[in-house]
Structure 1
Amino acid sequence: MAELVYRPVIGAALAMFKALDLKIDCQGSENIPRSGGAVLVSNHIGYLDFIFSGLAALPQKRLVRFMAKESVFRHRVSGPLMRGMKHIPVDRRQGEDAYAHALDSLRAGEVIGVFPEATISQSFTLKGFKSGAARLAQEAGVPLVPMALWGTQRLWTKGRPRNLRRSHIPVTIRVGEAMEAPTDQYAGALTRRLRERVQELLESAQRAYPVRPRDASDTWWVPAHLGGTAPTPAEVREAR
């Protein structure tokens, strides 16, 4: 089936990243299956994460269908694009339809992208994972592919202005080995293993990141436990 929207959007994104001279360091794309269904699972630190997660699958010639909140599909600009790229709207009050849609797509051989933290982490640390990704992989009989992003929060994240005019920002992507999702394993236990793997990949991406804050005013994007001034998870919870 022709991808009349997805491929032009990819081309536009690549052109924008080239114009911004983003330094994208992606390793592990070979871990994404070249064919068949898979659940691609990533941390979530910025509004553009789905684009960079999708870019990680391009070397394998795969297009990722992301599960995203339904309100994005109602936006006058993003809505037609999201629908045209066949992403999956999620109504958090009634998630059954989105789950069934994703399950059908996996069984049809698609790669489904999931952010199991559900929302952007404002502390830039890993939040708790919902079990939906693990349950989807188990029910569809497909692998889980963990991955981690770092640096995307510097471009555009929750509570900060967009920074799309500043060039040369590095983005580090690490994709881990596919994990089997046996049906005889409790989904909660599988989710904990998945989160541990994403945490390992996140720490690897952070160690490989080529930039450190320039001065005290530039530490907002660094987690508190790494010496930055991003709010701690507890501070984020208290601010709600």
Structure 2
Amino acid sequence: MAELVYPPVIGAAHMLFRALDLRLDLKGTEHVPRSGGAVLVSNHIGYLDFVFAGLAARPAKRLVRFMAKKSVFDHKVSGPLMRAMHHIPVDRAEGGDAYKHALRALRGGEIIGVFPEATISRSFTLKSFKSGAVRLAQEAGVPLLPVALWGTQRLWTKGRPRNFSRDHVPVTIRVGEPVKAPAEEYAAALTRKLRERVQELLETAQRAYPEGPRSESDRWWLPAHLGGTAPTPEEAATMDREGR
């Protein structure tokens, strides 16, 4: 398919990162398949996660088609861009069409990006994973590619104002070895295995992160179990229910 929009958008993103003087730390890109389909699976802590998760595939010269909620495609600005980059809209009331679309793309050799937590984690810890990513990989006969992001929540996340100032914010990205998705394995068991792998990568990214809070009020982006003031997973679940 013609790629008239995606490469320029990536170029614009790199210009923005340079303007913001972000400190990107990206490791594990050698694990990204140079050809063929794969399901890229990432944790979800900020609104720009699809941009940073997509960066993981750029050293392999691959583009990632992300599955995203339909409302993003309905927006007058983001919608035309998302469609032009051949991302996949997901209507949560009728997800069958999106699943079939993603399956065709995987069988055609594309990398499909999925956030199996479905929504941003307000606690910045891993929520439970939906099994859709695993089922896609099994049915298409492609591997799962685990990715962990850390620091993206400091730029723009749920319930916080955007921070696009020149704060030299570090963003750490870790890509793990592909996880095979044999059709005969139970999807629930493989989903648990995948979540454990993303958790390991997330902890690796957190340990490698080069700085902590800059002030007492800046502890908001750290999970409670790491000494931060972010909501606990239980509090975040309550906030999500009230939000719905």
How does the TM-score come out when normalised to structure 1?
0.99
> 1: distance between equivalents of 2:50 and 2:74?
18
**Residue 184 of structure 2 corresponds to residue 184 of structure 1:** yes
Secondary structure of the equivalent of 1:54? helix
Contact 2:118/2:130, CA 8 A, preserved across alignment:
yes
> 2: distance between equivalents of 1:60 and 1:220?
35
- Correspondence 1:86-105 to 2 at 5 A: 86-105=86-105
**How far off is 1:165 after superposition?**
1.8
> 1: distance between equivalents of 2:10 and 2:167?
19
**How far off is 1:226 after superposition?**
0.2
> 2: distance between equivalents of 1:7 and 1:215?
38
Count of paired positions: 240
Q: Which amino acid aligns with 1:49?
A: D
- Correspondence 1:31-110 to 2 at 5 A: 31-110=31-110
**How far off is 1:11 after superposition?**
0.4
**How far off is 1:152 after superposition?**
0.1
4+ residue segments displaced more than 6 Å: none
**How far off is 1:236 after superposition?**
1.4
Secondary structure of the equivalent of 2:221? coil
Match of 1:167 in 2: 167
Q: Which amino acid aligns with 1:11?
A: G
**How far off is 1:237 after superposition?**
2.0
Which segments of 5 or more consecutive residues in structure 1 lack a partner in the other structure?
Answer: none
> 1: distance between equivalents of 2:146 and 2:137?
12
Root mean square deviation of aligned Cα: 0.6
**How far off is 1:216 after superposition?**
1.0
Give the % identical residues: 75
> 1: distance between equivalents of 2:98 and 2:215?
44
Q: Which amino acid aligns with 1:81?
A: L
> 1: distance between equivalents of 2:114 and 2:29?
16
Contact 2:68/2:90, CA 8 A, preserved across alignment:
yes
> 2: distance between equivalents of 1:82 and 1:161?
23
Secondary structure of the equivalent of 1:206? helix
Secondary structure of the equivalent of 2:7? helix
**How far off is 1:189 after superposition?**
0.3
Secondary structure of the equivalent of 2:56? helix
Secondary structure of the equivalent of 2:57? helix
- Correspondence 1:118-129 to 2 at 5 A: 118-129=118-129
**How far off is 1:123 after superposition?**
0.2
User: For residues 88-139 of structure 1, what are the alpha-carbon distances to aligned partners after superposition, in whole Å with 9 as ceiling and x for unaligned?
Assistant: 0000000000000000000000000000000000000000000000000000
User: For residues 192-222 of structure 1, what are the alpha-carbon distances to aligned partners after superposition, in whole Å with 9 as ceiling and x for unaligned?
Assistant: 0000000000000000000101221110000
> 2: distance between equivalents of 1:139 and 1:65?
18
- Correspondence 1:216-227 to 2 at 5 A: 216-227=216-227
- Correspondence 1:120-139 to 2 at 5 A: 120-139=120-139
**How far off is 1:164 after superposition?**
1.0
**Residue 204 of structure 2 corresponds to residue 212 of structure 1:** no
> 2: distance between equivalents of 1:233 and 1:217?
20
> 1: distance between equivalents of 2:156 and 2:40?
22
Which segments of 5 or more consecutive residues in structure 2 lack a partner in the other structure?
Answer: none
